[in-house]
Amino acid sequence: MDNSMPEIVVRPIGRVRNEVKEQRRGGWEEVASEIVIEESLTECLDGLEQFSHIIVVYWMHRVAPVKQPVTKIHPRGRADLPLVGIFSTRTPYRPNPLGVATARLVERKGNVLKVVGLDALNGTPVIDIKPYMPHYDSPPNAKEADWVKKLR
């Protein structure tokens, strides 16, 4: 790794509040959560309620650190899928355990966002929130690896 890179300091802007205490595979589509944003940042949310969905960037704080960095995996541990680099998967075992999810914004009340479909555990630190914009976030002619179809 290049030691000349500057140190990056990230601080949470809020936390996820929901009933999910343990990691799970799938079934997140109907999970209701609240994202409680620091009160000092309440004004930063103004206008967000005009969007149906938001992109949430969060720190996967419960991912256990690994002694030997993982470079390749079979997606979801399935040997019938190809061995691929971690950057071509959504595995939480990454150099920086950042999660990114698009969730449906149900309601905003002050500094609390009610969302559905956020795949984050209770207490997860939220790093950033962005509005979901179809023309930016769904590029035309996007493609995915053939093995992804087997996961559906």
Q: Tell whether the model's pLDDT for residue 3 goes beyond 80.
A: no
Residues above pLDDT 70, as percent of the chain: 95
Pair 126, 55: CB distance under 8 Å: no
Q: How do 53-59 and 125-131 pair as beta strands?
A: antiparallel
Cα distance between residue 151 and residue 47, in whole Å: 36
Query: Given this model, what pLDDT does residue 149 score?
Result: 84
What does pLDDT average to over the chain? Answer: 90
Q: Tell whether the model's pLDDT for residue 28 goes beyond 70.
A: no
Q: Tell whether the model's pLDDT for residue 132 goes beyond 70.
A: yes
Total-model pTM = 0.87
Note the pLDDT tens digit of each residue in 66-123.
777 789 999 988 999 999 999 999 888 888 889 999 999 999 999 999 999 999 999 9
Q: Tell whether the model's pLDDT for residue 127 goes beyond 80.
A: yes
CB atoms closer than 10 angstroms to residue 99: 21
- Rounded (10°) CA dihedral 99, 132, 36, 62: -10
Query: Given this model, what pLDDT does residue 63 score?
Result: 81
Query: Given this model, what pLDDT does residue 134 score?
Result: 92
Residues above pLDDT 90, as percent of the chain: 62
Domains and CATH numbers, the chain: 10-61+101-134 (2.40.30.70), 63-96 (no CATH)
